[in-house]
A and B are shown apart, each in its own frame.
Chain A
Amino acid sequence: MTFLTTGLGAHIRSASIHGKVRGGEHSARSVLFLIALWLCLFVAFGVLLTLIITTLIDGFSRLDSRLVTEYPASAPERAGLRPAILGSIWVIGATALLTIPLGVAAAVHLEEFADRKKWFNRAIELNVQNLAAVPSIVYGLLALGFLALLGVQNKNIVIGGALALGLLVLPVIIISTREALRGVPLEIRQGSLALGATPLQTVWRQTLPASVPGIATGAILGLSRALGEAAPLLVLGALVFVSFDPNGLLSGYTTMPIQIFNWTSRPQAEFHELASAGSILLLLILLAMNGLAIFIRNRYQQRW
């Protein structure tokens, strides 16, 4: 199809494409089409806005300091998220330590060293793409099976949750790191090699530092996904009554989404308010993480 247009369209900017000959921009069908598109956007954003507003209205009355300082309790007015927040911090922290070095290493191998002509490396790539779309609950089952294999009796331990979430986030980190590495121009690598650096020195001193903003953005987005994830932890027995502060990798824990799920499944309306208040807090944290990621991307990303 391109033979029609080579050279022809060089001066036409996309903004000024107007068909005048038949069925112009203001024909009934065109206008209806545009209205339908607007409607799609409005409905999608409208529902999501409704979600945020109804959550705010339901939860606002319980959005106070007790929410973060109190332990879960059978009486809704005394219940809070304290151990769940600490549990989330422990699990996400361990997930980050587990998965970021591994993901970056795998991405560096695939992007900088692997020979793409070899079927094995292509198989790894295909596999990473597939892993990114495996349902999260399956990672929970994998971690459950792994813990059973090790003979761990109590499956509700921080490191077990971190294992499941780490496997879940790993493909996200590999894919975003590869994209960041790909953004570094070849000239940087060639210049470094020409100055006598070894391939590994080139990666360590040139390519990786240049792609840190992209890697950080991807890692934060991946971890924020893990923070909101409940299904794999549910399988790992994280839905428990925790009345203590989790204090180590082998400690029992629950996380914020799990505690919200717990409150959602209670019949009393007061618990639903608590769940909404917890959702607001979770959304705020995620918004902050996303904001940080976007900030890093806009502020530090190098344009070559």
Chain B
Amino acid sequence: MSTLTPVGGSALLPGRPAVSLRSNRPRHGETFVRFLLRVAAILTIVITGGILIALLVPSIEFFRTVSVFDFLFGDRWAPRFADASFGVLPLVTATAWTSGIALLVAIPLGLGAAVFLSEYAKPGLRKVLKPVLEILAGIPTVVFGLFALQFVQATVFRGLFDLDTGAFSVLAAGLVMGVMIVPTIASISEDAMSAVPLSMRQGSAALGANRMQTTVRVVFPAALSGIIAAIVLGVSRAVGETMIVAIAAGGQARIVTGPLEQGQTMTGFIANAALGDSRVGSLEYDTLFAVGLLLFLVTLLFNFISIRFVRRFREIY
């Protein structure tokens, strides 16, 4: 396969030009394989484009029937009723409630666990806890949903605390979703805190700070962009999570005003409506994609904010 001119042979012959190190035979096979690799990489852009087109085309159809204003600011979501109404606010409020509750749980727990793992845990304990955290991050969301419905809502809320709530609530879904997100937030912010150079901790200690002061005033601010990235990614996961809310948050789309009410989120609606056999091109079918587009744009926004912040902390250290 060697494509260089054999050095020994040609150099001994008088009158031959000096050997060039450039290949003098074009490597067609090599060029072709590299072209294939490039195509594979470009395909990822095609996928994003595909998502946009797949969501946009039916959505445009949808917005021919329903005005964008009525969709975004209408407060009644009843796509299957005779007097159909397509105000997405009920879905948005339910998503806001479940995501908000989830983040109230996930941010303190995740950051606490991350600080502990990064700053306090002995290397042995850390070596055990990190893989455990990774495995826990892989628990299927259906299992979390079942847990939220059966244990948190039925056994704890209604059985133990005797709360005034039905079979579903945004609180149960949100709490369990929060626990689901903890490993994500903990893992990324732990990476960020571990990336803070040891010399900064030593400097802080040399100035007389104890470990808590070092953690809170030196390590935490230094890792802030990574921590924010972790939180924003957590928001994005909470907004996009489907199975937990489809199982435990309920199926009625109405404006949610309290944590013990049930509510249908954007993802919950898509999952539920997809169960019915909606014909391609029908308004019902297009509605799925309009809600999907809104969901995609919201998470896209959060993802880009998160990526921006991650880049910043990677650039500093």
Report which A residues bind B (CB closer than 8 A). Answer: 1-2, 4-6, 8-9, 12, 14-15, 17-25, 27, 29-30, 33-34, 36-41, 43-45, 47-48, 50-51, 54-55, 58, 102, 105-106, 108-110, 113-114, 121, 123-124, 126-131, 133-142, 144-146, 148, 167, 170-171, 174, 196, 198-201, 221, 224-225, 227-231, 234-237, 239, 257, 260-261, 264-265, 272, 275-276, 279, 282-283, 286-287, 290, 294
Contacts and interface: CB of A to CB of B under 8 A. Distances in A.
Which label, helix, strand, loop or mixed, suits the secondary structure of the B interface?
A: helix
Contacts of B303: 129-130, 133-134
A40 B108 contact: yes
A51 B144 contact: yes
Given A37-B115, A135-B296, A145-B58, A105 B146 contact: no
A95 to B, nearest CB: 15
A61 to B, nearest CB: 15
Interface string B227-251: 0000001001101111100110000
B260 interface: no
Given A40-B112, A109-B37, A257-B142, A1 B200 contact: yes
Contacts of A110: 41
Give the contact-size bracket for chain B: 35 or more
Contact of B202 (A17, A51, A134): A17
A255 B60 CA distance: 33
B120 A34 contact: yes
B281 to A, nearest CB: 8
Contacts of B1: 198, 201
B51 interface: yes
B139 A283 contact: yes
A48 B139 contact: yes
Contacts of A50: 151
A45 B139 CA distance: 13
16 contacts: A8-B202, A17-B205, A17-B214, A30-B212, A39-B112, A40-B112, A48-B139, A113-B37, A130-B48, A130-B307, A134-B240, A142-B51, A145-B53, A146-B50, A261-B246, A283-B140
Q: Which 6 A-B pairs have the closest CB atoms?
A: A135-B240, A40-B112, A228-B140, A9-B202, A145-B54, A19-B210
A33 to B, nearest CB: 4
A18 B119 CA distance: 13
Interface string B289-317: 10010011001101110110000000000
Given A19-B209, A33-B212, A198 B30 contact: yes
A26 to B, nearest CB: 9
A21 B207 CA distance: 9
Interface stretch (B12-20, B67-75, B84-92, B266-274): B266-274
B205 A12 contact: yes
B33 A200 contact: yes
Given A260-B142, A290-B134, 20 more contacts: A1-B203, A5-B200, A14-B198, A18-B210, A19-B209, A41-B112, A44-B113, A58-B150, A102-B43, A135-B239, A137-B292, A141-B288, A174-B44, A200-B30, A201-B1, A225-B138, A228-B139, A234-B246, A264-B142, A282-B142
Contact of A264 (B41, B55, B146): B146
Given A201-B1, A264-B145, A264-B146, A6 B116 contact: no
